[in-house]
Structure 1
């Protein structure tokens, strides 16, 4: 499922691309498993159709016409007015809910959305208002909350808006760090696959295997190369005791994306359960290499080491993350913090300065925060020098 927060960010005119996880061969992606292959079970409620998911409720259509379309504003003004319509108290008054994977009608009724529901809402309304908008996905993100807490997520979506040939990113989260490839535009079918997959994961968490399966199959019907759908279907089959089918699901997921960490993790666990230690070890070794080459994983391990006060390990992991993703100011900040906690103020100051310099010209508040922490470190050094 996707993670996002409640503060809207319009990332000014940033154009970035993501390497899409597609099959290594030119063969057509496998079709979703046929219904006949599934064990008899109570009939699930049918998932909403794509038209039902994206239908604009009449009251919202009227507001869109009145506040965004009818006055004849320029495109940039329509974007701004659409944002106000969605978030202002006299509009939808939308609030963030990480579990609210909803249709547009449900979002209108409940005034709640996660990043996926918001993105579907924004893109659909924008297109209805003549704005060139699209759904985008990011393979991995890290989100900061409070002072030091982090949320690591595989998968995130936002909206891209074409303004005079350049792409501005509309995102609910101002504190998210994208992977090095950034947001990648996806097809409407892929966006809907995310919706069905999220709903399936929620039903699986609730213990409703029948309904979860219906949603995972709906996701794969939209995009048969959707790795997360195959992975989640494998989890569901493994939980249901259908280990042969789970093996099939994971095999397809890894054919589509051989270095997909969740599928490697789950498949290795399945082979251990099946008693195939050779295959389990092979996949575990591949996973270890994937994690070593993943700056987000190294950062997460560094954060975990920091939380348990193992600052030497935290420094090793953060340094690895920085080496893999040198321009992420958040990683330099983590390394600076670990150095400081380990008593190395000189290196802490150096990394803090690097974090400040990488924060960007449009991140004034963040740069000021880093500058204040640098000044605090300088005072610590003066205090230590005086004490000695």
Structure 2
């Protein structure tokens, strides 16, 4: 109404010069193409040649040199940053990146070094963070490298990602969709909805079967005041991934806001059934029990998590902690030995040190 009243006043006062038209708002910059995302700057390519390629040797030797080049301070000295959703060039300039940026860089450099490299996705991980009023659930990607019949994984966060699933090989289009969807989510949080929509459209063009992008598109539609379109995007997410937690939670909230209690309860029951089958749900409950000092409940929930998935060393280590607080040192030792058998080398050594301390106490 205010804009209409102002316009009417101006038309009734022709003697006053009209206000100049506001400058046109430039269109949002186009999202980078696959070629731009994977592009290796000339200086980085030269460093790769000098530190990885020039010495020749076998594919295994080049892969080992590549990993050292990326992580050692004498090379790139890359560091992890959870919101560092960068192109290869941006990651090189900042020496930072999230798991996707590390993956993009590793693939680009490995291919430039003559190795057969590809992306791998783990769609179910225990990983999330919050900013403002937005809760982010994240999947995880890393790099696969095939040398003859052997497959290797290069992962910046292998010790901090909890998952019950092996990585699945994905094509470059899926990596591109993840990149654009991540950028869209960041822009959405900043309130830059038009730019977010541009990146979201690019994500869906790259891979229309990427369920997380449809879920993010639904959140964007909600922020834009289009709840009916959001509902369709959330339902599309579940069509592609019937157990997508975020889409079920978003639909439950959407139906609650509409007052549609029947469908709200339907999705809340689906969420609860999914949690009952999710070992990480019980792991998180056990951690909360530990914080509250209820070690009996913690041990029970760690055992439930292990019953659903025995292959995660952190479940067994948590159970060992609970048993230690309960004074059951024999069971604590058994749980710690199982944790050690499942852990990677560095973590296994830490568990061994804890076992040695128990033995020195005669436990």
Aligning the two structures, in what range does the TM-score lie when normalised by the shorter sequence?
0.7 to 0.9
Asked if the contact 1:315/1:338 (under 8 Å) is kept, the reply is yes
In structure 1, what is the equivalent of residue 31 of structure 2? 47
Deviation per CA, 1:298-337, whole angstroms, max 9, x where unpaired?
A: 2122212222323333223211110011122221111121
Q: Is the 8 A contact 2:218 2:234 kept in 1?
A: yes
Give 1:353-372 correspondences, 5 Å limit.
353-359=337-343, 363=345, 365-372=346-353
- Partner Cα separation in structure 1 for residue 233 and residue 304 of structure 2: 33
> Among residues 222, 230, 243, which one is paired with 1:246 in the alignment?
230
Give 2:45's aligned residue: 61
TM-score, reference length from structure 2:
0.84
* 2:201 counterpart (217, 233, 236): 217
Q: CA deviation at 1:243?
A: 0.9
CA distance in 2, matches of 1:42, 1:289: 48
The answer to whether the Cα contact below 8 Å between 1:227 and 1:257 also exists between their aligned partners in 2 is yes
Match of 1:266 among 250, 253, 256: 250
Which range moved further: 217-226 or 70-79? Answer: 70-79
The offset of 1:268, in angstroms, is 0.7
Using the TM superposition, name which of 269-278 and 175-184 deviates more: 175-184
Corresponding residue number in structure 1 for 2:71: 87
What is the count of residue pairs matched by the alignment?
331
Q: Is the 8 A contact 2:124 2:165 kept in 1?
A: no
Query: Do 2:184 and 2:197's aligned partners in 1 also have CA atoms closer than 8 Å?
Result: yes
Q: Please show how residues 267-306 of structure 1 align to structure 2 within 5 Å.
A: 267-306=251-290
Q: Alpha carbon RMSD of aligned pairs, Å?
A: 2.3
Cα offset, 1:239, TM superposition: 2.6
Long gaps (5+) in structure 1: 1-40, 144-151, 383-388
Question: Helix, strand or coil: the match of 1:168?
Answer: strand
How has the CA–CA distance of structure 1 residues 218 and 255 changed in structure 2, closer, same or farther, with 3 Å as cutoff? same
Q: Which residue of 2 aligns with 1:140?
A: 124
TM norm structure 1: 0.79
Q: What secondary structure sits across from 1:185 in the alignment?
A: strand
* Residue aligned with 1:140, SS: coil
Q: Which has the larger radius of gyration?
A: 2
